[in-house]
Structure 1
Amino acid sequence: MKIKDIIILALLLAVITGCSEKKDPVEQKIDQLISQMTLKEKIGQMNQLTGIGMADDMTNAVRNGDVGSILNEIDAVTVNKLQKIAVEESRLKIPLIFARDVIHGYKTIFPIPLGQAASWNPAVAESGARVAAEEASSVGIRWTFAPMIDISRDPRWGRIAESCGEDPYLTSVIGAAMVKGFQGDTLSAPGSIAACAKHFVGYGASESGKDYNTTWIPELQLREVYFPPFQAAIEAGAATFMCSFNDINGVPASGSTFLNRQVLRKEWKYDGVLVSDWGSIEQMIPHGFCADLKEAGEKAAIAGVDIDMMGYAYINHLEELVKSGAVNEKLIDEAVRNILRLKFRLGLFENPYVKEQGRDAFYTESSLQKAKDAAIESVVLLKNDNDVLPLSNNIKSVAVVGPLSDSQADQLGTWCFDAEPEHSVTPLTAIRNDYGTQVRVIAEEGLTYSRDKNANGISKAVAAARNADVILFFAGEEAVLSGEARSRADISLPGKQMEMLAALKQTGKPVVMIVMAGRPLTIEKEVEMADAVLYAFHGGTMAGPALADLIFGKAIPSGKLPVTMPRMVGQVPVYYSHKMTGRPAQNITLIDDIEVGAKQTSIGFTSYHLDAGDSPLFPFGYGLSYTTFKYGDVKLSATALGMNDELTATCDITNTGNYTASEVVQLYIRDKVGSLVRPVKELKGFDKVQVEAGQTKTISFTITANDLAFWHEDMAKRPEAGDFTLWIATDSSSGTSVDFTLR
């Protein structure tokens, strides 16, 4: 073919491609709208304001096209009132989007996201998001700012409660399930709401665990650890993204062209909306990245942030910036195109109003049952000496004590603005209602709240405990101690809870400690004292009935830790997929075992803490059951894997106990030698399976070369030939390994 013919063919293909793009009816409608919009109206679409309590002040802004989306308005009548102004009285009749933080439930509250991740069951996450979407959409909310898929390896950070934990693979799976739950099969369906993958990116790596703090993350680590959940969210169809508050390597995320244009738009081809976090554009001023609000608006617009949430940078300065040439109007058009595309995808142009149906969508029998099931699966059994749990039929009385035993609000956890604590069923209420005819319930909280330092009530709780066969100690932290801006340097049990547990232990009665918290806590001493430990996170509306069923054996624990639990805060950050040092820990001598006067060289030179050793309190993926599981040898379909082949790994799992139960079977891999040092283990798959007592099930995983690929210094992801180790195990620290080769 001649060069001239090639050029003609290329031009013809370009014309055909262009025509096919113009045939998209939604894009045609967007083109038509943008062509009619004034610059001021375009900027109005990029402006998001809070509405609750301000609806009367907002009518003119809506009528004039000065606002494109409203958050925090939850009254259906007011939603329709404002929407009516937008679609009937504004010049271009563009509907509004109403948004709200609906993180783990609207009215019916599910476990905090970290708890849902502990289920290792994407169906739990999807179900929780679906119920939240159905309830929230019933009052006109069509956009939520969830899921939060920041990788978090620092339990001091309060927002770890909103995360799915420390691992990119688990977070990707659970986060994608949440996206699917919020958005449903059809985003335009009345019961669906737009999900928002947040915070893009690296927010969970905030220095010293302080919220909003700086981060320094090499690009390789961004791509290896922090990007994958966001790519998974895009694949799941996430309609929107949100910038993070933090700066990354000196550039606030709201002003990062690298993150928002190069990666999100160019590399990942994302065509959804990118919204700032609350005021995060304006906050580039105290960051020291911008001199004033005008410069902040300029940098955010150039970086590709479509919507300014409560920052006033765009509405106050963007028109001037465009007219002066500082910001190209084509960038404004791109942002508005993304926003209008979202409104079309939500079906707002066709169905802008919400049915004012009252509270019929809240607390349905089905929703409450799903919340209870989720709470059951989110609980992790950490210890069960002498099979204290489940309580046997010989138990005639229980003492229900502790500050979290009857706290309706605290069991809901963080980020549930619209929750109604009076609908929460607490452990004490559930035990009385569901098992009160089976056992005598003796209640004495001892401490009135988690931070309570008044020990006067402890003696009453101890006296009550002496009259019971078993003590149920509900410990933890109040909801207000975790979540945004709720970082803690000391993550031990607050208040006098440790002292209370010690006093209860002195009764000689078996003590079951149930921890309800928004983060992993440093509870090594408490675990030693307790006979059994259930880690329940904050379990939501139905936490009480879920825990009651687990305690009395109607349900069997199946949760696994989605994050490593440290022995003490000085180990943080501690996570399973760390890199190996040149002097790995061995011959560990702890501080109290060092002889007085010992020479500096007497205990060797390896990598560990003198006071904590080299292991966490509990590893990632850990969780017990009331039954026991035996893992057989791992069998591989071959000892070598070609670059274009598949390898199957199988393992027999036998339930050797007396209860039918579910086990989370986990697949880990290690690249023994790489051109870059690789983690000691990486989660590559998991399967939650129910196994009947005495039954054996064969679990299989398929591995390809792509599963073994990693990012290289040239910012390309590819596998390397070499030797690998594989585990199929019950957690990240156990299991028998088997080797294979990639060639």
Structure 2
Amino acid sequence: MNELENLLLILILSSTIVLSSTGAVMSIVMNGVFFLLTLFSASSKGSEEKNRIRKIVVGVIFLFVTALCVYLWLYSTIKPPSPPLPPKEAPYRNPNLTPEERAADLLSRMTLEEKIGQMTLVDRQSISSISDISTYYLGGLLSGGGSCPDPNVPWNWARMYNEFQKQAVEKTRLGIPILYGIDAVHGHNNVYGAVIFPHNVGMGATWNPELVEECARITAIEVRATGIRWTFSPCIDVARDDRWGRTYESFSEDPYLVKTMAISAVRGYQGAGLNRNDTVLATAKHYMGSGGTENGRDQGDCKAPLRIVREQHLEPFAGAVEAGVGSIMASYCSINGQKMHGSKFFLTDVLRRELGFQGLLVSDWEAIGQVDSSYREAVKKSIEAGIDMAMVPQSWRQFQVVLKDLVNRGEIPISRIDEAVYRILVTKFRMGLFENPYVDESLASIVGNAKHREVARQAVRESIVLLKNNGILPIPKNVSTIYVAGPNANDIGKQCGGWTITWQGSSGNITIGTTILEAIKRTVSPQTRIIFDEDASEISGPYDVGIVVVGETPYAEFYGDRENLDLPEEQLKIIDRVVASGTPTVVIMVAGRPLTGIESRLSQWSAFLMAWLPGTEGQGVADVLFGDYNPSGKLPRSWPRSTAQEPINYDRRPSEAYDPLFEFGYGLSYTTFEYINLTVSPISPKVEDTITIQVSVKNTGSRSGSEVVQVYISDVESSLPTPVKKLYRFQKVMLEPGETRNIVFTIPVSELGLYTEGPERIVEKGVFLVTIGGLTASFTVN
């Protein structure tokens, strides 16, 4: 090896060492230089003078390349100066300033990376290390269905939450706490041992807004006891098709009933202030149209004129905004082909400018990626449309890179980022997170306590709808023998349904609670014999009474979409076997929606009750069966005769058929009620007036009981097709035997208007018809 080759070898070795630190791009550049030098060396033949010149050239190149590599290595390892630490007396640290003042100060101190971090909401299972919270400045974490610590017990949730929060508060420059969210949709349902309330469809059947508020209040207490401060609830979709897999998450098919329950739920969750230790940030979801998609397909397309969309799906969100809801979640669905997450019209023009929503707008789970086939375009459209915080549980790293590039290239203005982050920060300041970021882990012991379970038991009682009774109910507690059958009689998982412990829920002993069979055994006399045979395969009867509990197995979201709503044939045969034995048969349905295929057999059943998805407190079902509680539930949904009738809704247009098996608002009692003396005044109101409706209700039976007084109004002479009748008010009243009460309702005439394509209701002159309990009265708007 000659001297020139030695120099080249030294050059290559030394450069290789440096290049290992400078990256792939410089490697490519230097390899080109080495290649040229090698060619030069290979052609080195000639005089000694020429070789000396060549050696000098190679030496100069060697020194230049070495110096360049060292410079690039230093440049790549020296970090740019870090932003300064904020002073301890920074205004955003001052709790005496308003949340808005504090947020403005904090926003002015943030880098682009910190701002994008605040807009990022990540599932706890998707971070590779707890340090990701501080490294990527994450603004929020969540637990999706089944995303639980191990062991899944309340105290461990609290411990986990504090560890996550410590990383954000103590390991970042600005100390911004994370906002932790969870789908606490019918209690703190991810947590083993928490009380599980009836799903929303059952709560809608109570027609009791005060009870809905109380259940939400208890949920907030149990959620806060584990540290979490944000629930993705209430779901205020108006489910218009029972085939939809999320029907049980909806309070009703009726917008007014949903709106009323939405207001109560928001008040229950958020209480007297978000900075209290017994409240959580509520999320009204899914804005909007999810319940009106074609054929009831989850994440589908809601195809309807804008005036119908406003009438059927916007009203509950208007109510939630009026109640001060702190956050709203956008829907997966499309409206007339346009994805909601990418619609600036709906997310900004309607939600913010028309309804006046000022809170935090969050996306649904990875829904941003559905807006466009290009993820870059999807992020751009969603953020421009108005999404503030992106729920990107798995794609969060990609989201941050893409969003930063969009801002740096000027495709998304920094003003839109600042607007989003400002809303997030204001929310956190309003919640008192900066002053109280942690939870006292000893508070976890209150989760699932006896007082909370008693409220849930009352919710179950009031949710049950008695659909048929030939006099067999209530069952005497000292009856000789009760035969119990059916797959849902002794299964706490089936009682709770989806969104319980895991996303989809599951059958079996999944959490602490009382099954319907256990409740029956606890209620009857010691002398009563209980026989349980799930399939009724060995029934010999007849017995004094048979109770068959049938229904659905757990599911959630699109996994629950159905083409056929019939009760499974094998379950019908279980009922048939009990009936055939000569045993008077009581059928209880445990399901998230009305199931069909029962009409031909209904006449053979002695009684039929709908228990919905009652949750952990099955004792409430037994309370109704044995007369400890007089059933008062009313159907929040029309009950179809067959799936072919779907979608079936009572507030139909005149051209639409309506022939359900059981009507919306129907429900029996162990007593009877009579309506008398319906009056409306004035009978010729003006648009700016308020009408007063009065009616008297009498308990004509021998038991005390509750009746839901329902006020329906029809616009008889409207210029556009309007509902044949529409619910405008209701009130649940308790009456003793023989008691009569006068019920008064007031309704501004302006509420009776119809939507056109714009945001205003138009009240037209003409005749309106009021219907309450079979009585009718009219008035004419002048």
Bin for the TM-score computed over the shorter chain: 0.7 to 0.9
3-state SS of 1:737 partner: strand
The Cα shift of 1:636 comes to 2.2
Query: Which residue is equivalent to 1:546?
Result: 620
CA distance in 2, matches of 1:714, 1:122: 30
Q: Of 635, 640, 647, which residue of structure 1 is paired with 2:691?
A: 647
How far apart are residue 414 of structure 1 and its match? 1.7
Quick one: distance in 2 between partners of 1:736 and 1:347?
52
1:424-503 aligned at under 5 Å gives the runs 424-437=513-526, 439-446=528-535, 458-460=536-538, 462-463=539-540, 466-480=541-555, 483-503=557-577
Q: CA deviation at 1:564?
A: 0.6
Write out per-residue CA displacement over residues 224-275 of structure 1, whole angstroms, 9 at most, x where no aligned residue: 1110000100111111000111121221111110111101112222111111
Say if 2:477 and 2:524, in contact at 8 Å, map to a contact too.
no
Does the 8 A contact of 2:492 with 2:615 survive in 1? no
1:35 aligns with 2:108: yes
Query: How far is 1:472 from its partner?
Result: 0.6
Aligned to 1:404: 488
Q: 1:211 — aligned with what?
A: 298
Which of 501, 512, 522 is matched with 1:417 structurally? Answer: 501
- Distance, in Å, in 1 between the alignment partners of 2:468 and 2:236 is 29
The one-letter amino acid paired with 1:532 is A
Distance in structure 2 (CA, Å) of the matches to 1:401 and 1:410: 14
8 A Cα contact 2:137 2:168, kept in partner: no
The alpha-carbon deviation at position 641 of structure 1 amounts to 1.4
How many angstroms does 1:291 deviate by? 3.3
State the partner residue of 1:737.
776
Which runs of structure 1 show a deviation greater than 6 angstroms over 4 or more consecutive aligned residues?
none
Q: Aligned pair in 2 of structure 1 residues 713, 363: CA closer, same or farther (>3 Å)?
A: closer
Structure 1 residue 504 displacement after superposition:
1.6
Displacement of 1:715 in angstroms is 4.2
Q: Give the aligned partner of residue 6 of structure 1.
A: none
Comparing 223-232 and 426-435, the one that deviates more: 426-435
SS at match of 1:278: coil
Shift of 1:421: 3.1
1:511 equivalent in alignment to 2:585: yes
- Could you tell me which runs of 5 or more consecutive residues in structure 2 were left unpaired when the two chains were aligned: 1-95, 150-156, 189-193
**Structure 1 equivalent of residue 79 of structure 2:** none
Cα deviation for residue 60 of structure 1 reads: 2.8
How far apart are 1:483 and its partner, in Å?
Answer: 4.3
SS in 2 for 1:485: helix
Report the CA distance between 1:700 and its aligned residue.
Answer: 1.4
Question: Mapping of 1:546-585 within 5 angstroms?
Answer: 546-581=620-655
Structure 1, residues 507-563: CA drift from partner, whole Å, max 9, x if none?
Answer: 222111011101111132342321111100010110x21111111101110000111
2:408 maps to 1:323: yes
CA distance in 2, matches of 1:358, 1:526: 51
Paired amino acid for 1:493:
L
CA positional deviation for 1:215: 2.1
User: How many angstroms apart in 2 are the aligned matches of 1:688 and 1:199?
Assistant: 28
> Does the CA-based 8 Å contact 1:442-1:468 persist in structure 2?
no
1:481-508 Cα distance to aligned partner (Å, 9 max, x none): x545311111111250111212221122
Mapped to 1, the partners of 2:548 and 2:130 lie a distance apart of: 53
Q: Distance in 1 between matches of 2:569 and 2:222?
A: 36
Identity within the alignment, % = 39
Partner of 1:94: 176
User: Which of 352, 359, 363 does residue 448 from structure 2 map onto?
Assistant: 363
Question: Deviation of residue 341 (structure 1)?
Answer: 1.0
The question of whether the paired residues in 2 share the 8 Å contact of 1:406 and 1:428 is answered with yes
Deviation at 1:738? 1.1
Give, as a single letter, the amino acid of the residue that structure 1 aligns with 2:548.
F
Q: Letter of the aligned partner of 2:629 in structure 1? A: A
CA contact (8 A) 2:180 2:229 kept: yes
Shift of residue 217, structure 1, vs aligned partner: 2.5
Q: Is the 8 A contact 2:331 2:340 kept in 1?
A: yes
Q: Deviations over 1:143-196 (max 9, x none)?
A: 111111111111111101101111110000111111111111111112211110
Is 1:279 paired with 2:374? Answer: no
1:277 Cα deviation from its structure 2 partner: 0.3
Instruction: Verify the 8 A CA contact 1:65 1:90 in the aligned structure 2.
Output: no
Pick the aligned partner of 2:346 from 242, 259, 266. 259
CA distance in 2, matches of 1:40, 1:205: 39
Counterpart residue identity of residue 113, structure 2: K
Distance 1:282 1:378, change over 3 A: same
Counterpart code for 1:740: F
SS in 1 for 2:442: coil
Q: Mapping of 1:343-354 within 5 angstroms?
A: 343-354=428-439
Q: Distance in 2 between matches of 1:125 and 1:334?
A: 34
Is 2:477–2:523's contact at 8 Å kept on the other side of the alignment?
Answer: no
Letter in 2 for 1:559: G
Contact 2:295 2:647 in 1 (8 A): no
Q: 2:473 aligns with which of 389, 392, 398?
A: 389
Aligned to 1:7: none
Contact 1:51/1:58 (CA < 8 Å) preserved in 2?
no
Q: CA deviation at 1:638?
A: 3.1
Letter in 2 for 1:109: I
Instruction: Indicate the SS of the match to 2:302.
Output: coil
Question: Does the CA contact (< 8 Å) of 1:182 and 1:194 recur in 2?
Answer: yes
The alignment partner of 2:240 has SS state of: coil
Q: Is the 8 A contact 1:105 1:416 kept in 2?
A: no
Q: Do the aligned partners of 1:556 and 1:661 also contact (CA within 8 Å) in 2? A: yes
Question: 1:220 aligned to 2:307?
Answer: yes
Q: 1:718 to 1:686 in 2, by over 3 A?
A: same
Answer with 1 or 2: which has the greater Rg.
2
Structure 1 residue aligned with 2:135: 64
Partners of 1:492 and 1:668 in 2: how far apart?
30
Aligned mates of 1:406, 1:564 — CA distance in 2 = 28
- Tell me the distance in 2 between the aligned counterparts of 1:667 and 1:696: 18
| Shift in CA distance, 213/510, structure 1 to aligned 2, threshold 3 Å | same
Displacement of 1:80 after TM fit? 1.2
Q: Secondary structure at the match of 2:622?
A: helix
DSSP 3-state at the match of 2:694: strand
Q: Is the 8 A contact 1:45 1:65 kept in 2?
A: no
**Secondary structure, aligned partner of 2:365:** coil
Q: How many corresponding residue pairs?
A: 662
* CA-atom RMSD in angstroms: 1.7
Aligned partner of 2:39 in structure 1 is: none
SS in 1 for 2:169: helix
